[in-house]
């Protein structure tokens, strides 16, 4: 489906009161930068005895906000009764939360409740880095005749996220786009970041990765928000943040740019060729080692040797300007391939 780009969905994590909804929606509409107003009505919370949303009673507040601002409404639905209530109030757009996408039973239930709808339905990525599950969510909607589908990337939990609440793992979202290129994909930097401080950087990264827009949480008074207080921005802060985001073009017609780009890409191609050649040579040396180990009845894995290679490599991280994480992944891949080559010759 054609979608305005960048599409900006904004609003509070949760609908808390009629006043909060109306004041926030009007302030967001006044910025002129928001296309859709979001608010969580039923809130999936990690722990019990926390605020779980105002439920159906919040829907008339949202309808009033739509009437006063003209902004279409987006809410999260997680079961049949949510969908039925939302349909009763003619909510314009739905999203499926990360916890729902994670559970095939819930996902199937929501897909069936949405059967045949023409409304836009966004599917958030599941909690874990499982692209199949994300695809599965979309496929369940498609199988129920839901045609207008989009993706929301909100990060993945529990991956040593550092300062962030959920690890972005951008490659998974890019893989999802490769598999389903016809679906718009928008970034939810609020839930990736968990804190206002990082939202600008993550949003800029998403813009540079050609995302189609953002879903960002905005609350009239973030510090007293009943959920996700630390990550919400005031409507004014949101508007200034959006002003700083550069939506760069995919191409440039400039001749100098084209020439420089071509020459740099040639360099990359030839370096890639050399890297592959060196890796192939490394593997053939590993095979020679495999052969002498076989002939001398020595096993393949010698942990101490591998640990010393790993240590030596990691120590060069800073001077090479390569991250520890990257070196770790690269070394692990080389090690596995090397063992496979040695295994092959052991069996000869």
* C-alpha distance across the termini of the chain, in Å: 56
Work out how close the CB of 38 gets to ligand PEP at its nearest, in angstroms, rounded to a whole number. Answer: 7
- The answer to whether 219 contacts ligand PEP (rule: CB under 6 A) is no
The residue within the footprint of ligand PEP, chosen from 66, 124, 165, 341 (CB under 6 A), is: 124
- Min. distance of Cβ 234 from ligand PEP in angstroms? 17
Footprint of Mn ion on 211-250 (CB under 5 A): 228
When binding is defined by CB under 6 A, the residue of 11, 97, 150, 194 that contacts ligand PEP is 97
Give the tokens for residue 236: 């004014």
Q: Encoding tokens for residue 243?
A: 């002003």
- For residues 156 and 129, the answer to whether their CB atoms sit within 8 Å is yes
Quick check: 222 binds ligand PEP (CB under 6 A)?
A: no
Count Cβ atoms within 10 A of the Cβ of residue 117 and give its class: 0-12 exposed, 13-18 middle, 19 or more buried. middle
Cβ closer to ligand PEP: 154 or 177? 154
Q: Which stretch binds ligand PEP (CB under 6 A): 16-24, 95-103, 315-323, 328-336?
A: 95-103
Burial string for 186-198 (b: 16+ CB within 10 Å, else e) reads: bbbbbbbbbebeb
Structural contact between residues 72 and 66, judged by C-beta atoms closer than 8 angstroms: yes
The residue count for the chain: 348
Our measurement of the distance from residue 107's CA atom to the centroid of its chain's CA atoms, rounded to an integer in Å, reads 18
Q: Is 13 in the site for ligand PEP (CB under 6 A)?
A: yes
Q: Distance between CA atoms of 30 and 21, rounded to whole angstroms?
A: 14
Which of these ranges, 25-33, 96-104, 281-289, 312-320, lies near ligand PEP under the rule CB under 6 A? 96-104
Q: What is the DSSP annotation of 130-150?
A: -HHHHHHHHHHHHHTT---EE
Compute how many other C-beta atoms are within 10 angstroms of the C-beta atom of residue 331: 15
12 binds ligand PEP (CB under 6 A): no
Q: Is 193 in the site for ligand PEP (CB under 6 A)?
A: no
- Residue holding tokens 């979202």? 173
Write down the least CB distance from residue 54 to ligand PEP, Å: 14
66 touches ligand PEP (CB under 6 A): no
Selection from Mn ion, ligand PEP, none that 98 binds (CB < 5 to 8 A by kind) is: ligand PEP
Residue at shortest CB range from ligand PEP: 97
Least distance in angstroms from the C-beta of 98 to ligand PEP: 4
Q: Which residues of 84-114 are buried (b: 16+ CB within 10 A; e: fewer)?
A: ebbeebebbbbbbbbbbbbbeebbbbbbebb
CB of 272 to ligand PEP, least distance (A): 36
Smallest separation (angstroms) from Mn ion to the CB of 288: 56
Select the residue interacting with Mn ion from 8, 13, 185, 206 (CB under 5 A): 13
State in angstroms the smallest separation of the CB of 152 from ligand PEP: 7
- Pick from Mn ion, ligand PEP, none: which does 212 bind, CB < 5 to 8 A by kind? none
Find out whether 196 and 229 touch, Cβ atoms under 8 Å: no
Half-sphere exposure of 184 (CA within 13 A, CB side): 21
Question: Closest CB to Mn ion among 14 and 338?
Answer: 14
Give yes or no for a contact between 93 and 120, defined as CB atoms under 8 angstroms apart.
Answer: yes
Q: Looking at residues 154 to 183 of the shown chain, list those that interact with ligand PEP (rule: CB under 6 A).
A: 154
Residues 212 and 209: their CA atoms lie apart, in Å, by 9
Residue 137 interface partner, choices Mn ion, ligand PEP, none, CB cut-off 5-8 Å depending on type: none
Please say which residue, 146 or 226, places its beta carbon nearer to Mn ion. Answer: 226
- Give contact residues for ligand PEP (rule: CB under 6 A): 13, 40, 44, 76, 97-99, 124, 154, 188, 191
- Give contact residues for Mn ion (rule: CB under 5 A): 13, 228
């Amino acid at each position: 489906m054609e979608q305005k780009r960048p599409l900006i969905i904004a609003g509070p994590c949760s609908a808390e009161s009629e006043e909060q909804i109306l004041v926030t929606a009007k302030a967001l509409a006044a910025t002129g930068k928001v296309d859709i107003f979001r608010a969580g009505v039923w809130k999936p919370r990690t722990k019990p005895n926390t605020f779980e949303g105002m439920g159906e009673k919040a829907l008339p507040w949202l309808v009033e906000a739509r009437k006063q601002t003209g902004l279409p409404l987006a809410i999260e639905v997680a079961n049949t009764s949510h969908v039925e209530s939302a349909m009763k109030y003619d909510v314009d757009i739905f999203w499926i939360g990360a916890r729902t996408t994670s559970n095939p039973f819930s996902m199937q239930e929501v897909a069936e409740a949405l059967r045949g709808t023409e409304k836009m339905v966004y599917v958030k990525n599941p909690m874990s880095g499982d692209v199949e599950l994300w695809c599965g969510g979309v496929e369940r909607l498609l199988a129920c005749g839901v045609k207008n589908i989009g993706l929301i990337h909100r990060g993945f939990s529990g991956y040593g996220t550092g300062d962030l609440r959920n690890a972005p793992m951008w490659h998974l979202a890019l893989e999802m786009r490769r598999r389903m290129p016809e679906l718009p994909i928008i970034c939810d930097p609020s839930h990736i970041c968990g804190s206002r401080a990082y939202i600008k950087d993550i949003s800029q990264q998403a813009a540079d990765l050609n995302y189609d827009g953002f879903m960002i949480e905005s609350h009239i008074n973030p510090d007293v928000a009943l959920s996700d207080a630390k990550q919400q921005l005031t409507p004014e802060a949101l508007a200034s943040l959006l002003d700083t985001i550069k939506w760069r073009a995919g191409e440039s017609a400039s001749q100098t740019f084209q020439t420089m780009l071509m020459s740099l890409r040639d360099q990359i191609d030839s370096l890639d060729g050399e890297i592959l050649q060196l890796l192939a040579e490394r593997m053939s040396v590993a095979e020679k080692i495999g052969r002498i180990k076989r002939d001398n009845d020595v096993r393949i894995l010698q942990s101490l040797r591998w640990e010393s290679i790993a240590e030596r490599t990691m120590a060069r991280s800073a001077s090479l300007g390569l991250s520890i994480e990257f070196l770790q992944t690269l070394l692990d891949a080389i090690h596995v391939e090397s063992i496979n080559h040695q295994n092959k010759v052991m069996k000869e």
